Chain A
Amino acid sequence: MTEATAPVPKLSLIEVCSGYGTVNIIDTLSMTVPQGQIFALMGKNGMGKTTLLKTILGFVAMRSGRIDLDGQSIAGVSPASLIAAGVAYAPQEHALFQDLTIRDNLRLALHTDKELKQGIERVCQHFPFLRERVNQKAGTLSGGEQKMLILGRALMLQPKLLLIDEISEGLQPSVVERIGRVLVEECRANNTTVLMVEQNLDLVLGVANRWAVLKLGRIDDSSEMDTGSRARILAHLKI
């Protein structure tokens, strides 16, 4: 009876298998991301973190198992419909159209131009440097600025669920801190749920409510963020 009153998680995966060719990269993985929280997924390289995000979005086919969004199965739902339903994705690699302007990059996140002005205004409140440069090509931005644009674009639609792939990679600490601040603000203001794949322990400790470590396609360890989390995560990530 207690289960009936428990809130429906934003995202839940039950014994999910997926991969490329004959290999299962994600192997009977189960996890639950609660509504309105920042969930950090950690793990060494090659453990399947990016594949997991792509499986949730439907870019990599799920071979077995079940993925629920708001308690509803999303098997067979196209990436385009998922994104229209409020799921945003900030990929790690080749994540911007370098030859398009910042404005056009932001515009591509929306379905119509109706909300463009408001959307850009909202993104510029988070990252004011974009305001002066909306007509510049995205390729002219520095590495850190590009990452902020990627995050800004993912926030254009005010997503309900935000999937982020290693946004902090190669960034200086001040930029990482700023990105973390934006994520926390966004969650608080819009009740956004965030699933972030991340290698930067300081960022995870600073913003996440919950963490999990992925090892060979399964959740090896998972917990709410507490005082013992740092030592536990480090023990998993040390080589």
Chain B
Amino acid sequence: MTILLDVITTAAILFVVAAGLLAIFGVLKIINFAHGAWLTVGGYCAVATTGMGLNPWLALPVAFAVGSALGGITEVLVVRPLYRRPLDAILATWGLGIVVGQLITLWFGRDVQFTPNLLSGTINVFGLDYSFYRLFMVLAALVVGLGFAVLLEGTRLGLSARAVIMNETLARALGIDTAKVRLTTFMIGTGLTALAGVLLTPLTSVDPDMGLAWLIGAFMLVMVAGSSFGALAVACLVFGGAQTLVSTFVSPVLGGITVAVLCALVLRISPKGFARA
């Protein structure tokens, strides 16, 4: 029973972490390797918010605002000239990630920072005491997933974004401001990633490299998922599940690389991953 809850909550955590990367990759076809840095920025938003004596939950909107503002600046200055050079964009965002990491080090120092738990204690599920916060992450993943579904399927911005994904030339011919769609998508993606960084703080320590540990897993999951949030959810369940099982029954060290290795294997066999062409 604990294993089942572990699988579900691990999948939920991976989904929340990878969602921002998928939003950007899905619409912009750009792999944002600064993703880890935005997670870290989110973590430090939590540190700063609690440092100022504010309610730790306030870190969520603060991180979204800071993340999307930084994302907006990044899109305009770094990413916009590179849409036709996706490989260069990987390098540029990777470099940006290093810069952001160093700036955070300058500001907050190398030391590990601690933030208060957003939700502490355990809750009884089917006669089993389980971490309340990990279960809360399932809710967070559902909110993020459903939020994106509503945004994409129900709003004009989502419709425009889908139009840009499907046929950008035609979208422009209909008068859609594709530059604005890209900027907004990038900002939502980075804002959401910083928010995910806050959500990670109770599960991990906050240090300038905090996001890096999550980057490769998130990247591999997005490669497998393509541009579909449904496929991302499935990928998180399958590979997150595998990670939990390997960590529990074999070794936590091997568990740490399970997602990356399995995703690489899947992509070797089926280059399109879980996304149907």
* Selected contact of A108 from candidates B159, B169, B177, CB within 8 Å: B159
- Docked-complex contact A91 and B173, CB < 8 angstroms: yes
Separation of A99 and B175 alpha carbons in the complex (Å): 19
- Stretch in A78-86, A124-132, A183-191, A203-211 with 4+ CB within 8 Å of B: A78-86
Q: Is the CB of A83 within 8 A of B175?
A: yes
Decide if A97 touches B169 in the complex (CB within 8 Å). no
A104 to B167, CA, bound (A): 14
Max count, chain A CB within 10 A of own CB: residue among B169, B170, B171, B176? B170
Given contacts A94-B167, A99-B166, A100-B163, contact A112 B175 (CB under 8 A): no
Chain A interfacial residues counted at CB < 8 A = 24
B174 within 8 A of A: yes
Contact B162 A100 (CB under 8 A): yes
CB within 8 Å for A79 and B166 given contacts A112-B156, A113-B156: no
Interface residues of A in 96-118 (CB under 8 A from B): 96-100, 104, 107-109, 111-113
Instruction: Answer yes or no: B113 CB below 8 A from chain A CBs.
Output: no
Query: Considering only CB atoms, which chain B residue lies closest to A83 in the complex?
Result: B175
The 6 residue pairs across chains A and B that have the minimum distance between CB atoms = A83-B175, A80-B177, A80-B175, A97-B166, A108-B174, A89-B173
Q: How many A-B residue pairs have CB under 8 A?
A: 50
The 8 Å CB contact of A84, one of B159, B172, B173, B175, is B175
Cβ contacts under 8 Å, A80 to chain B: 172, 175-177
Query: Once the chains bind, are A91 and B170 in contact (CB under 8 Å)?
Result: yes
Given the complex of chains A and B, what is the CA–CA distance between A113 and B160 in angstroms? 12
A57 located at the interface, meaning its Cβ lies under 8 Å from any Cβ of chain B in the complex: yes
Extra inter-chain contacts (20) besides given A84-B175, A108-B160, CB under 8 Å: A59-B172, A79-B172, A79-B173, A79-B175, A82-B175, A94-B169, A94-B170, A95-B173, A97-B162, A97-B163, A97-B167, A99-B166, A100-B162, A104-B159, A108-B163, A108-B171, A108-B174, A109-B175, A111-B175, A112-B156
Closest B residue by C-beta to A82? B175
The main secondary structure of chain A at its interface with chain B is loop
Q: Return 24 A-B CB contacts under 8 Å, by A number.
A: A57-B173, A59-B172, A59-B173, A80-B177, A84-B175, A89-B173, A89-B174, A91-B173, A94-B167, A94-B170, A95-B173, A96-B170, A97-B163, A97-B170, A100-B159, A100-B162, A104-B159, A108-B159, A108-B163, A108-B174, A109-B174, A109-B175, A111-B175, A112-B156
Residue ranges of A at the interface with B (Cβ–Cβ < 8 Å):
57, 59, 79-80, 82-84, 89, 91, 94-100, 104, 107-109, 111-113, 153
For residue B173, which residues in chain A have a CB less than 8 angstroms away from its CB?
Answer: 57, 59, 79, 89, 91, 95
How far in angstroms is the closest Cβ of chain B from A86? 10
Q: Are A108 and B176 in contact (CB under 8 A)?
A: yes
Which chain B positions have C-beta within 8 A of A113?
156
When chains A and B are docked, how far (Å) is the Cα of A89 from the Cα of B172? 10
Most central of A84, A94, A99, A108 by chain B CB within 10 Å: A108
1/0 per residue B149-171: CB within 8 Å of A? 00000001001101100110111
Q: How far is the CA of A102 from the CA of B156 in the complex (A)?
A: 15
A57-B170 Cα distance, complex, nearest whole Å: 13
User: Smallest Cβ distance from A93 to chain B, in angstroms?
Assistant: 9
What's the nearest-Cβ distance from chain A to residue B84, in Å? 16
Chain B residues near A94 (CB, 8 Å)?
Answer: 167, 169-170
Tell me which residues across on chain B come within 8 A of A89, comparing CB atoms. Answer: 173-174
**Are A95 and B170 within 8 A (Cβ)?**
yes
The reply to whether A83 and B174 form a contact with Cβ atoms under 8 Å apart is yes
Which residue of chain B has its CB nearest to the CB of A112? Answer: B156
Measured between beta carbons, the chain A residues less than 8 angstroms from B162 are 97, 100
Residue of A nearest to B162 (CB): A100
The docked-state distance in angstroms from the alpha carbon of A83 to that of B177 is 11
Bound-complex Cα distance A138 to B93 (A) = 37
Q: In whole angstroms, how far apart are the Cα atoms of A16 and B177 in the complex?
A: 26
| Shortest beta-carbon distance from A116 to chain B in Å | 10
Q: Are A100 and B171 in contact (CB under 8 A)?
A: no
Residue of A nearest to B159 (CB): A104
For the complex formed, measure the closest distance between the CB of B176 and the CB atoms of chain A, giving whole angstroms: 7
Within 8 Å CB of B160, what residues of A?
108
Contact (A100, B166) CB under 8 Å given A108-B159, A113-B156: yes
Q: Give bound CA distance, A59 to B175, whole Å.
A: 11
Q: In the complex, which residues of chain A have a beta carbon less than 8 angstroms from the beta carbon of B167?
A: 94, 97
